[in-house]
Amino acid sequence: MNILFKNIRVINPVENLDKIVNLFIKDGIIEHCANEECVVDSSTEIIDGSQLVAAPGFIDIHTHLREPGFEYKETIKSGTDAAANGGFTGVVCMPNTEPTIDDVTVVEYIKNKSKDLLVDVFIAGSLSQKREGKLISPMLELDDAGVVMFTDDGHCVESSEMLRRAFDYATTRDLLISEHCEEHSLTKNFAMDECELSIKLGLKGYPRIAEELIVARDILLAEYCGNRRLHLQHISTKGSIELIRNAKSKGLRVSCEVTPHHLFLSNDLLDSYNTNLKMNPPLRSKEDIKALIEGIKDGTIDCIATDHAPHALHEKEVEFEKAPYGITGLETSIGLILNNLHHSLDIELNKIIELLSINPRKILNLKQIEIKKGEKVNLTIFAPNEEWVVSSKKFMSISKNMPYENLKLKGRPKFAINNGKIWSSTL
């Protein structure tokens, strides 16, 4: 893999790096990263980088790879191919598999299946056994096996006592606990956000307070247990943002993520009964979206995560109330983010790179990537001004459940380079 990107813009906020260079990659190592010309042999592919940006490889901190147990929706191979196709060089896979990732043998299975891939697969272990919220998983053993966080994703830890004990277990090694914030007694069998439209459509609503109650409880417990590390998943409401902003102002070690669909889609779209708009948490109001955008701008929101949730066609093509929650996101996220944050709201590329690369690594305590001579290559390369039309026929994901078909976007992933491999996007 010998490639020279001529006159490419390289941005890496952790190095205060933002300049036009000739970037030469040889055998997975950066051989040249400077303004000066670079002499290469005839075996080197030369690519015009004048319309491209190279950034430290993007990580999706919230991905459902479905394997083991639900390979008809996605596999580790198809999911990581989708990630690379969408410009990601790393993903964190969630534990709602079958069997659950609550045992070292399952961790080893995933590590073996993801060996030698371009995309690094980081593993989230289940906080409780079988994600039932009754007995704590063997957290220390899972940590020894390489798990990067603990979550019952898809389920909230309903028992405060259970969560307190988990924080106590986490104390000895400063483990990261991540929470799906949903007070289930208020949301059972919900179909959409609780609002005027849900009443009009006759659909069970999910009130904002059901998310905010758990956000508040978890912040209080994390503080009470000694300012433990807490990461809050797919935040969707104005009230949640205010609670997290206040927690951060107090110096609490709380981080959070938001998804592209909660940033760019609102609950008024549900009158279409499109099951690809059904997700958990549900799409919220435009007022909530405005608050999320402000959270991006002021740093309350740490990162953007796809919550890539593949489902088979037959599962989504049912009555709205019966359809499963979630949409795929790995192959549309970068385009949506560049189109809607960079181009529409003038949010700088440096900020977007922080949200997709720098901050996820901070949350996970991973080494930051450096883009300089002698370093191993881990890069996301994208074309910020290139227009394209979303077509699921070009996706690598097995499942195609997303609401963006034929949507025109400005900003396109081009290459993912990592582990001595390169992926050229088909999108």
Write a three-state SS string for 300-315: CCCEECCCECCCCHHH
CA 355 – CA 55 distance, rounded (Å): 12
CB 347 within 8 A of CB 297: yes
Answer whether 142's CB lies under 8 Å from 150's CB.
yes
Question: Which two structure tokens, joined as six digits, stand for 98?
Answer: 């079958």
Does 376 lie in the same domain as 294? no
Q: Are residues 376 and 286 in the same domain?
A: no
Domain that holds residue 393: 2-54+372-424
* Joined tokens for residue 77: 């191979």
Asked if residue 154 and residue 37 are part of one domain, the reply reads no
In this prediction, residue 1 carries a pLDDT of 78
342: domain CATH number is: 3.20.20.140
First to last CA, the chain: 22
Query: How does pLDDT run across 161-182, given as a tens digit for each residue?
Result: 999 999 999 999 999 999 999 9
pTM of the predicted protein model: 0.97
Domains: count for the chain = 2
269/414 same-domain check: no
CA dihedral 49, 50, 52, 54 (to 10 degrees): 60
Average pLDDT over residues 34-59: 95
Specify the pLDDT at position 57: 98
Average confidence (pLDDT) over 384-401: 98
Question: Which of 103, 298, 307, 346 does the annotation list as catalytic?
Answer: 307
Q: Are residues 9 and 148 in the same domain?
A: no
Burial class (CB in 10 A: 0-12, 13-18, 19+), 286: exposed
Amino acid letter at 107? V
Check whether residue 348 and residue 418 sit in a common domain. no
**Does 387 lie in the same domain as 265?**
no
Same domain, 50 and 96: no
Domain with residue 385: its CATH number is: 2.30.40.10
Domain-ending residue, one of 364, 392, 414: 364
Question: Per-residue DSSP letters for 93-160?
Answer: E-S-SSS-S-SHHHHHHHHHHTTT-SSEEEEEEPSBGGG-SSSB--HHHHHHTT--EE--TTS----H
Domain boundary among 364, 386, 401: 364
Query: Do 380 and 349 have their domain in common?
Result: no
Q: Are residues 246 and 328 in the same domain?
A: yes
Model pLDDT for residues 194-240, shown as the tens digit of each residue: 999 999 999 999 999 999 999 999 999 999 999 999 999 999 999 99
DSSP annotation of 343 reads: I
| DSSP-assigned letters across all residues of 221-245 | HHHHTTS--EEE-S---HHHHHHHH
Residues 261 and 407 in one domain: no
Give the rounded percent of residues in the chain with a pLDDT score beyond 70. 100
DSSP one-letter code for 31: E
**Does residue 120 carry a catalytic annotation?**
no
Same domain, 297 and 277: yes
**Residue where a domain stops, chosen among 318, 337, 364:** 364
